[in-house]
Structure formats: C-alpha cells, structure tokens
Amino acid sequence: MFENFIPCTDAVANLWGIADTTIAPALLFYAYIPVVIVSLLLGFYVLRKGSKILLNRLFFWIAISFSAWVIGIIGQWIFVFANSVHLLWQLTAFFEVPVFLLTIYFVYVYLWGPGVTKKLWPFFAAIMAPVIILLPTTLNITSFDLVYCEGVVGPLWTYIYIFEAVAVLWIACAAILFSKQQRHGSGKKMAGLLISIGAMVFLALFFLSNLFGEITQVYSINLYGPIGLVVFLSLVGYSVVKFRVFNMKLFGAQLLVAALLIILGSILFVQHIENVRLILIPSLVLIAILGFILVRSVRREIEQREKLEELTKELSTANDELRKLDEFRRQVLSFASHDLKSPIALMKQWASLIYDGTYKEPEKVKDTVFKIKMTADRAVNMVDNFLDIRKMEEGNMAYNFETANIVEFTRSITKDFEILGKIKDIGVSFESKAAEIPVSIDKNTMRQVLQNLLDNSLKYTESGFIAVSLTEEQKSILIKIQDTGVGMNPEILPTLFEQFHRDPGVAKKIKGTGLGLYISKQIVIAHHGEIWVESDGEGKGSRFFIRLPKA
C-alpha cells in the first residue's frame, strides 16, 4: 500500500504501519492531546448552547483550527513517510494563520458586537490571500530535508511571523481602546479585559514558541505553545462563570471538577515512566490549588443556599402576614360597602323627599336639604368606589352594555352639577354640535365616571367655570371636561390614574380616597376607550378627556 512512499531515515513504524511514537519528544502527547480534547469539547459545548450566536461560532472555529494545527504538528513528529510529513509541513500555514485571525475576530466581536464584521473581513481577506496563494509553492516550504525529515521554511513564514506579532499588538490596542470606552468597574469591562489578556497570552506563546523553535531548530520548544491556550480557556471559563459570557450558566464547581479530571487524565498521555515524577509534581500543585478553590466555592454555595433558605422562611412569614392584612382589608371594604352605605342611602332618600316637596317644607329649607342630598351622594359614591375596587380585584365587576345617546346622557349628568356650581358661583356648561350619537355603554358605570370627573372639577375649582364638551370623531366620540381650578404639576400626570394616588399639593387641603380616577380608568378601559388628563401647571386648570368608540 505504501510502496511508493519514501520513509524517513530515523523512523520505524510501530503504530498502524504509518507512525513511530518513539521518535517524538517525551511530552508530545501530554502537552498536545489533553489541550486538543478540552478545546474541542468546550468548543462543541459552546456551539451547542448557541449555534446562532456569532461569538459562540467563532469560539468553536478557534478550537477546530487550533486542533487541526496540533494534529498536523503531531503528524510531523510521528509519521514514518516523508511524503506525509512534507504535506503536513506544507499545510501548517493554512491551519496556523486562521487561529490568529479567528482569535482577533472573537475578541472584537465580544468587545464591540457583531457589527464589526463588515469592517474586519477586508483586512482578514487581504492577510489570508498571500497564504492561500503561496501555500503550494516553494515560497512556503523551500525544500525538504530527508535526513531529518523536516521542511525548510521559505519567505512566506517571515510574512506570517510578522503578522502574528502584529496580531498580538492588535489585540492589545483593542483592549486599551475598549477599556477607555467602558465605565470603570463595570462587569463588561472586566470580562472584556480578561478575554483580551487571555487571547494575547495564547497568541503570544503560540507565536514565540514557533518562532524560537524555527530560529534554534529545536522544535520541541513548540510544546510550550499550548500553555497559552490553557490560559485563554481558563480566563474564558472564569468569564463564563462570573460574567455569563456566551449567555451560558456554568457553576464554578463544575468547571473546577472538570479541570481536576483533565489534569489527572492528561497523565495517561505520558509516554515514559521516568517523566512521571516531573509531571506529578506540578500536577499535584495544581490539584491542591484547584481543590482549595473548589472547597471554598462549595462552602460559598452552601452559605448562599442557607441564606436563601432563611430568606425563604422570612418571605413565607411575610406572605402569611400579607394574606392576613389582605383579608382584613377585604373585611373593611365589605364593611364600608354594606354597613356604611345603608344609613347614607337612607339620609339621601329622606333629603330627596324633603327637597321634592313631599313633606311640603318651606322653600328656604330646600337649599340646605339639597346640600345634604349632594353630600350624601358624594358619600354614596365614595362607598361605591370601595365596593368597585373589591369587585375589580375579585374579577366580579359586571357591565350591562346598551346603545345610548351619549350626547343626552352626558348633558343630563352635567345638568345635575349646574346647581352645585351655582352654590360655589361656578358656571357649569355643556356643548355639543351633534344632537345624537349612539355609543355602547354601561349607563351605571359610565355615569359614575362622569360624576367622578365633574365632582373632582367642582372640588378643585374655587372660581371660574367648568366646561363640558362632546365632539364627534370618525370612529369615536371625545368628551372633554375643562375647568379653571388649581391645576396640576405635569410631573404627576402619568401616575394620577394609579390606585390611591393623589396630587400631594392638594391632598392635605381637600379630602379624598385616591380611588375615583383609578376606577374611572378601569371602567373606560372596559368600554374599549381611553382616558387621560392634561394641565399647563399649578393654578392653570385641568382638562380631562374620555374617548369612546361609536356603536
């Protein structure tokens, strides 16, 4: 099968008829294979967690490119046939340069996002083009030494080494620029710097080990190159745990256990027993350090779990108290809604009988009785508000929609407030160009909304007027209630319709519950409408608007 292949003079096949593992440096497999396995496993894991995320894909391809380079280097050391070794020497540049390009790209995408893609591609294409063009020429590998079974690198490698040195400086400059752009102490800044430093160490050791190996012709120096990848992977792993890089959730304990297994498992790739002690000493030191960190990490997680359990108990107790308070609040609302409403309703009924002349009281009594009636109306409305809040919270608010003439409906409610306006010497008016506009409403709740708004205008207006206008729009009607009252600070307008919220500027002067506007908004929303308020400022009056769809 291999009759036409030229064997290397210093190699005798002892593995599958194509490789000689005895001529490789003693620590070749220990230095390379564990790193390749780890980088590939981590690369596939990251890709699996987010195959559509550019950062994840770049990390995966860095792992693939570096692994391809390592496999090529291992082949150069152990392959028996010069033809295969020569081919791998020729392809080394094709595997090596993309490692640097992809790492630069990875750092840039993490620091500034995927938007840098269009800016970097022309540079990368210009850098890679000479490598691809000159790959099969003698400018890449000038000749091949059959005695030592090694290639003699050509001028292309001078270009590659210059680029690799520039790549390290490129990332350093990017890290400095990014650091200046970010806020001091931010997590994004710290993660960006860690990944940049890891990338610089990785590429610098990769570049320097290759360069000095070429200069000294002692290619075993290349075995120190993977140390840079270990640093890079360690800092990336820390960033995953600390800053959720790759949008992944990974616990520190998991990563530390994996590191321990890798350190122990890598000893399996030591070829000669006399090297085991040299390997075990640093391995034991690393295991001791990682074990200490692991124990501390587990202790921290246990303490956090205990704190969470305490907080859970406290929250459970607080929830029980809140449930009791909520039940008490419901009982208070029920009391206000039923036990208070009945006597107030009776007061209103008796005042109405006196006012309409049933008891034939003198005319001079009517004004006083009317005031009693309107005060009772307000008290009933207040109790109704409490009752409505309870119904809304329980989801029992019922609406009986019917088509009504919104013009006449609004006019009649406004007319009820004209008498109250006269008492305060405030003009209350209604205006509508249309005589009839059909709108689907629940009369009881919509009356409550208009009464709430008019009552508010009357309470907060000392002099001037209250003008109610109704305008017909293409698919809706717009009711506007404008007054010359105390007005409002524009800052409170967005929160005015919230539950129990009132303007602090008038809350002490004028009594109220802060429920009327909240209930009004919920009712209008149930009518598929909208309600809002406008004011030019304190002392400049207010304008309330209700928009309802036409029937």
pLDDT per position as a tens digit, 383-414: 666 666 667 766 667 888 999 999 999 999 99
User: Given pLDDT bands bounded at 50, 70 and 90, which one contains residue 301?
Assistant: confident
Does position 72 have pLDDT exceeding 80, yes or no?
yes
Q: To which H or E segment does residue 550 belong?
A: none
What are the structural domains of the chain?
28-250 (1.20.1070), 341-394 (no CATH), 402-549 (3.30.565.10)
Structure tokens given for 527: 């009518």
Share of the chain above pLDDT 70, in %: 66
Residues near 169 by Cβ (< 8 Å), separated by ≥ 6?
none
pTM: 0.52
pLDDT per position as a tens digit, 350-379: 666 666 666 565 565 666 666 666 666 666
Q: Which amino acid appears at position 356 of this protein?
A: D
Which of helix, strand or coil describes residue 149? coil
| Spatial contact of 25 and 220, defined as CB atoms under 8 Å apart | yes
Task: Kindly provide the b/e burial profile for residues 345-380, where b requires at least 16 CB atoms within 10 angstroms of the residue's own CB.
Answer: eebbebbbebbeeeeeeeeeeeeebbebbbebbebb
Q: To which H or E segment does residue 124 belong?
A: helix 117-134
Rg (CA), the chain: 41
